[in-house]
């Protein structure tokens, strides 16, 4: 796992190009502390930079790496799990290898197949290849979006990087807020691809490749999972194939020349991953868990059950409210406002894990692949409502339920139920957005100042991001379509971003068997009845792995990797959130009505309503401003302790 960056610029001296590349790579040291490499063409117009976290071929994997004659040069971030079979195939075809790294396999595969090479790779990756003979740059990102890749194309110039902070290290790149991206962030708690919070800088979406040549950029999708075709199989066949594919995917992810471990939450996905690791590994598995004092958010008892069953070397850490001390680090590492508060425990579990191993396996994507989120129950209920008689619909008319009291508990069934009922009169896609949104359209309108709202007049609606994805899977039941939408949006933009940034902040590589594209393709063809039985998700997973897990793990409801921020903002951190959000610096940005923010804080701290997630979103937005707009973004904020 590594950090990559580079540029194509005319009229730049080679010495200046080298200095720029050094600045860019210096901001990626955390992604690759073991080695670094720079390449600049003689005329200074092309630069490739690399920071390396050594996992495979520790001695021979230095980058940038070239083909035999030096005409093709690559910087690569990720792991290719089928590189050994590709290596053998390419060697048989006459390619000469100097190393046993997966990186060199991509170089020779590109020589043989050009940009189509990416379709042969099984793994997680983001890379850039400079083809000197064709004078073109080829970039690509893995199918599910495990590894990030950002770029900026402007006036015949091009920049790319694993993180935004590498691109904005160049003074030629302006750091300006994108109002449309901010509006998206307020809805989703992340900035969806291809947008970034910086105007003019983009994310390369998952499963996309691009070529920069002659001052022009061509971007295209190279893979799409088929979510329109169901494959009829018996329950037994689905159980057998689920177990076989996940076992194979897990075994492939144990290839490393360094120690490995696993994140163990106590949920079914991470528990299956640990069980399969234990079956495939000759060494004792190391497992790592994070917990909270608040019982409702603590899963360590369940994690301990699995650790004891497989005799793992288990380590636990309890997160306290003082974790706000790392907020400056979080704001800097994520580069954009990122409001998934589970970034806090993910940051800590990564820090804990990195003290003992360099690679950790996780259970990411189990919920999207096998319909595990509780919100899919709400989607199913709503779909049943849509088909119900008019008389029954009248009983659930939103107007009748609008004044139902809402629990101030962060994880409240009553709160979720009211949110569902109030959206029943909406089209299914809009209803789902209303259900998952942090700020709905009405709340955003009340919050935005007139001046900022005016800047949004030309921007598209936030729902278009979701609708565009729903349109790509039109012929399945709505629950299946929604799992596809989450797989294509929430998973890469939120969950995988969270894990990549939090883990790489501590120079830790994270791999997930559930993200293997063959597992994803298999799960996509599975009828929803195999995933959800009644209102219980992950039916086939529980059936397939029942003999490997404690019964308590199989039967327990999903908890999620939540954080008790709502309680923290009413107690230990009530003063902190008020001071930051009502500070003159924050208010003077002119984005929000001060009175509307005061109302949110007052309603939350007095227990009238739970605005914990909304306040967290506003907090992370302000910390991003202070890190990257008010300051150069070269170091984390260091004065937050004054506000605690």
Q: Where are the domains of the chain?
A: 2-221, 235-371+487-555, 375-472, 565-643
Read off the pLDDT band of 397 (50, 70, 90): low
Superfamily of structural domain 2-221: Aminohydrolase, N-terminal nucleophile (Ntn) domain (3.60.20.10)
CATH superfamily, domain 235-371+487-555, is HUPs (3.40.50.620)
* pLDDT of amino acid 534: 92
* Residue 641, pLDDT above cutoff 80: no
- pLDDT of 406 reads 58
pLDDT at 421: 73
- Give me Rg for the CA atoms of the chain: 24
Per-residue pLDDT at 420: 72
Residues 499-523 have pLDDT tens digits of: 999 999 999 999 999 999 999 999 9
Residue 610 Ramachandran class (φ > 0 left, ψ -120 to 50 alpha, else beta):
beta
% of the chain surpassing 70 pLDDT: 91
> Which residues touch 503 (CB under 8 Å, ≥6 apart)?
346, 350, 354, 360, 509, 510
pLDDT tens-digit map of 584-631: 999 999 999 999 999 999 999 999 999 999 999 999 999 999 999 999
Span 198-220, average pLDDT: 97
- To the query of whether residue 2 is one of the catalytic residues in this protein, the response is yes
Range 140-148 average pLDDT: 98
Residues 6+ apart with CB under 8 A from 172: 9, 157
Q: Is 0.85 surpassed by the pTM of this model?
A: yes
- pLDDT attached to residue 459: 57
Residue 216 pLDDT grade (very low, low, confident, very high; cuts 50, 70, 90): very high
Looking at the DSSP bridge assignments, the partners of residue 129 are 74, 138
Block residue for tokens 């559930």? 514
Please tell me the least confidently modeled range out of 13-27, 152-166, 354-368, 373-387.
Answer: 373-387
pLDDT value of residue 407: 55
pLDDT bucket at 411, cuts 50 / 70 / 90: low
Q: Tell me the pLDDT tens digit for each residue of 158-173.
A: 999 999 999 999 999 9
Write out the E strands in 303-442: 313-319, 359-361
If pLDDT is split at 50, 70 and 90, which confidence band does 387 have? Answer: confident
Overall average pLDDT of the 194-217 stretch: 97
Mean pLDDT, range 120-126, rounded to an integer: 98
**What is the average pLDDT score of the chain?**
91
Is 448 a residue whose pLDDT tops 90? yes
pLDDT at 614: 97
Among the residue ranges 60-64, 168-172, 295-299, the one predicted with the least confidence is 295-299
DSSP state of 146: -
pLDDT at 325: 78
- Strand 260-263 vs strand 157-161: parallel, antiparallel, or unpaired? unpaired
Q: Which DSSP state fits 116?
A: G
From the candidates 2, 5, 239, 493, which is the catalytic residue? 2
Q: What is the mean pLDDT of residues 191-218?
A: 97
**Of 93-102, 408-417, 627-636, the least confident:** 408-417
Calpha distance 183→444 (Å, rounded): 8
**What is the per-residue pLDDT for 262?**
96
Residue 338, pLDDT above cutoff 90:
yes
Quote the distance between the C-alpha of residue 349 and its chain's center. 16
Residue 295 has pLDDT above 60, yes or no: yes
pLDDT value of position 408: 58
Q: DSSP letter string over 431-474?
A: HHHHHH-SS-HHHHHHHB-HHHHHHTTTSPPTHHHHHHHHTTST
Least confident range from 12-16, 295-299, 375-379, 589-593: namely: 295-299
Judged against a pLDDT cut of 70, whether residue 436 lies above it is answered with yes
């Amino acid at each position: 796992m590594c950090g990559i960056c580079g540029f194509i610029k005319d009229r730049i001296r080679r010495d200046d190009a080298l200095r720029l590349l050094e600045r860019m790579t210096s901001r990626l040291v955390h992604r690759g502390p073991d080695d670094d490499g720079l390449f600049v063409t003689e005329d200074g117009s092309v630069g490739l930079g690399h920071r390396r976290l050594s996992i495979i071929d520790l001695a021979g994997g230095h980058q940038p790496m070239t083909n035999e004659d030096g005409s093709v040069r690559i910087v690569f971030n990720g792991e290719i799990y089928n590189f050994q079979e590709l290596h053998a195939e390419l060697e048989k075809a006459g390619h000469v290898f100097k190393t046993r790294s997966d990186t060199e396999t991509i170089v020779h595969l590109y020589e043989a197949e050009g940009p189509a090479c990416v379709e042969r790779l099984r793994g997680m990756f983001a890379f850039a290849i400079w083809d000197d003979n064709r004078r073109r740059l080829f970039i690509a990102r893995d199918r599910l979006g495990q590894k990030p890749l950002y770029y900026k194309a402007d006036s015949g110039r091009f920049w790319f990087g694993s993180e935004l902070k590498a691109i904005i290290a160049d003074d030629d790149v302006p750091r300006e807020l994108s109002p449309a991206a901010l509006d998206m962030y307020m809805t989703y708690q992340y900035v969806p691809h291809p947008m970034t919070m910086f105007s003019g800088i983009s994310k390369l979406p998952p499963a996309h490749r691009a070529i920069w040549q002659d001052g022009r950029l061509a971007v295209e999708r190279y893979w799409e999972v088929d979510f329109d075709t169901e494959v009829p199989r018996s329950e037994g066949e689905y159980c057998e194939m689920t177990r076989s594919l996940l076992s194979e995917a897990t075994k492939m992810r144990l290839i490393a020349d360094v120690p490995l471990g696993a994140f163990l939450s106590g949920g079914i996905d991470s528990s299956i991953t640990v069980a399969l690791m234990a079956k495939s590994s000759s060494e004792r598995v190391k497992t790592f868990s994070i917990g909270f004092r608040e019982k409702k958010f603590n899963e360590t008892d369940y994690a301990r059950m699995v650790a004891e069953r497989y005799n793992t070397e288990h380590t636990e850490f309890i997160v306290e409210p003082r974790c706000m001390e790392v907020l400056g680090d979080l704001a800097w590492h994520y580069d954009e406002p990122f409001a998934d508060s589970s970034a806090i425990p993910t940051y800590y579990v990564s820090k804990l894990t990195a003290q003992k191993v360099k690679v950790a396996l996780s259970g990411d994507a189990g919920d999207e692949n096998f319909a595990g989120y509780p919100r899919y129950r709400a989607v199913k209920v709503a779909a049943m409502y849509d088909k119900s008689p008019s008389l029954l619909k009248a009983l659930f008319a939103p107007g009748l339920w609008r004044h139902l009291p809402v629990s101030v508990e962060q994880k409240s069934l009553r709160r979720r139920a009211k949110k569902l009922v109030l959206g029943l009169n909406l089209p299914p896609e809009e209803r789902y957005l209303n259900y998952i949104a942090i700020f709905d359209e009405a709340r955003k309108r009340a919050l935005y100042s007139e001046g900022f709202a005016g800047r949004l007049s030309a921007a598209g609606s936030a729902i278009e991001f979701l609708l565009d994805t729903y349109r790509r899977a039109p012929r399945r039941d709505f629950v299946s379509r929604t799992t596809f939408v989450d797989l294509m949006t929430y998973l890469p933009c939120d969950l995988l971003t969270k894990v990549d940034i939090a883990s790489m902040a501590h120079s830790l590589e994270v791999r997930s068997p559930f993200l293997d594209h063959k597992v994803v393709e298999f799960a996509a063809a599975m009828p929803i009845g195999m995933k959800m039985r009644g209102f219980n998700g992950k039916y086939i997973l529980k059936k397939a792995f029942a003999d490997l897990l404690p019964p308590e793990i199989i039967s327990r409801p999903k908890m999620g990797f939540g954080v008790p921020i709502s309680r923290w903002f009413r107690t230990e951190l009530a003063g902190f959130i008020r001071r930051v959000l009502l500070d003159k610096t924050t208010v003077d940005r002119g984005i929000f009505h001060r009175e509307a923010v005061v109302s949110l804080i007052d309603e939350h701290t007095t227990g009238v309503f739970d605005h914990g997630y909304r306040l967290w979103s506003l907090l992370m937005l302000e910390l991003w401003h202070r890190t990257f707009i008010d300051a150069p973004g070269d170091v984390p904020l260091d004065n937050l302790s004054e506000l605690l």
